[in-house]
């Protein structure tokens, strides 16, 4: 069956989560993603190439972000290593990099250099604060990008420190997902113009983009959104979470009047039927909701409330996510064949009817395909041996025949 990104070749220079997630999304829909990884020792950091063979295979098998990709390991500080990258760039559709601004220029693999070799290339730079602006050269992590992007300032409860979410908003949504969207958009534009282009994705920009709806009221003259005080941040008892008899939490989102009425009847709190938007009633309403939810387990409440057309769901702990029947029925938990046997991974979210995505295997070892890729661009055995001997290229020893 054809895949949406069949025939698209991606050279992925990125290292940390946002870039690999971006290229994982592209690989899941058919792109040929070639990881251009650092030969062990080049960056001064311990790489997969230093691990023993069995440990390396285990790490790769469970690395969902690397699934369906190939790997070549090059020393881009070495003239011959750069030359190999430039040769690969001639046939690439996409180059993805996630270094601090200026690094690719120093390495000689920047957009201007690559575009001179291949004018059709879509070159995506994914960074924390982008390639321009006063924060351009600042270091950071997800927590810093969601702070500048505005999300961290609206998450939490009144009078408490900001609640720090797992690194979903900047690294994965504002970063990796936004980059994948931008790359696909630029590829579509290339179909019209015949030219590639430079794409600048900042995670802080991506987070602020996710805040578009939340910022609308403020831009219209409304009060600034504060943690736990907004319509969708827990101020209303009927859009909140409650602890159940088994200690687990349960979510309700009964915004619309008919959903709210069904909730009150199911909880036996009919005295509040006409007081949904009466702020003075909310403290007493919350207390009654808390008492009601404390009488049953989370699973019991799910069984009960799902029968009454109520916006409700248990807050799934990580150990319960993969067992949830809906997640399984939607193919969101898959088994992937790897050299160490099948492993579980998260599945593919978008369901395309004609060109569906597919998890096509586990992650490669660092430099697993170096010799194969070098041969594909015309290097003979003598040349490959010379590149490896000089330190310009590296093949993981676990892949040696």
Give the catalytic positions in this structure. Answer: 141, 171
The whole-angstrom separation of Cα 172 and Cα 192 is 29
Helix axes 79-89, 381-390, angle to 10 degrees: 130
| 60 within 8 A of 340, measured Cβ to Cβ | no
Find where tokens 């440990």 sit: 55
| 171 within 8 A of 17, measured Cβ to Cβ | yes
**HSE-up of 65 (CA within 13 Å, CB side)?**
16
Sign of the Cα pseudo-torsion (36, 42, 45, 51, in order): positive
| CA proximity to 14, closest of 146, 175, 131 | 175
**DSSP code at position 363:** P
Find where tokens 């960056």 sit: 43
The whole-angstrom separation of Cα 128 and Cα 141 is 7
Q: Mapping DSSP to helix (H, G, I), strand (E, B) and coil, where does residue 368 land?
A: coil
Q: Please give the structure tokens belonging to residue 225.
A: 């959104």
């Amino acid at each position: 069956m054809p895949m949406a990104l069949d025939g698209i070749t991606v050279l992925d220079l990125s290292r940390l989560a946002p870039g690999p997630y971006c290229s994982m999304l592209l690989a899941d829909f058919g792109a040929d993603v070639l990881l251009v990884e650092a030969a062990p020792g080049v960056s001064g950091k311990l790489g997969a190439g230093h691990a023993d063979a069995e440990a390396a295979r285990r790490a790769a098998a469970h690395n969902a972000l690397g699934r369906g990709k190939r790997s070549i390991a090059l020393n881009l500080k070495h003239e011959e290593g750069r030359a190999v990258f430039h040769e690969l760039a001639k046939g690439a559709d996409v180059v993805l990099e996630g270094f601090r601004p200026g690094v690719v220029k120093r390495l000689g693999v920047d957009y201007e250099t690559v575009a001179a070799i291949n004018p059709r290339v879509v070159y995506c730079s994914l960074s924390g604060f982008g390639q321009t602006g006063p924060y351009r050269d600042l270091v950071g992590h997800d927590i810093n990008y969601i702070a500048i992007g505005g999300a961290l300032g609206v998450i939490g409860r009144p009078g408490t420190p900001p609640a720090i979410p797992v690194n979903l908003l900047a690294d994965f949504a504002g970063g990796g997902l936004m980059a994948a969207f931008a790359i696909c958009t630029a590829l579509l534009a290339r179909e019209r113009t015949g030219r590639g282009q430079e794409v600048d994705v900042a995670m802080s920009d991506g987070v602020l983009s996710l805040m578009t709806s939340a910022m609308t009221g403020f831009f219209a003259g409304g009060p600034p959104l504060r943690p736990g005080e907004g319509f969708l941040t827990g101020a209303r008892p009927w859009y909140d979470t409650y602890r159940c008899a088994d200690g687990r939490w349960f979510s309700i989102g009964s915004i619309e009047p008919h959903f709210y009425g069904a909730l009150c009847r199911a909880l036996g709190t009919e005295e509040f039927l006409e007081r949904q938007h009466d702020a003075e009633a909310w403290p007493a309403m919350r207390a009654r909701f808390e008492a009601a939810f404390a009488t049953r387990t989370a699973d019991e409440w799910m069984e009960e409330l799902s029968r009454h057309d109520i916006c409700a769901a248990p807050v799934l702990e990580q150990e319960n996510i993969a067992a949830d029947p809906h997640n399984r029925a939607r193919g969101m938990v898959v088994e992937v064949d790897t050299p160490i046997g099948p492993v579980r991974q998260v599945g593919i979210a978008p369901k395309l009817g004609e060109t569906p995505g597919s998890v096509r295997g586990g992650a490669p070892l660092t430099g697993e395909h170096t010799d194969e890729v070098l041969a594909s661009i015309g290097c003979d055995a003598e040349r490959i041996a010379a590149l490896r001997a000089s330190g310009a290229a590296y093949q993981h020893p676990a892949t040696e025949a």
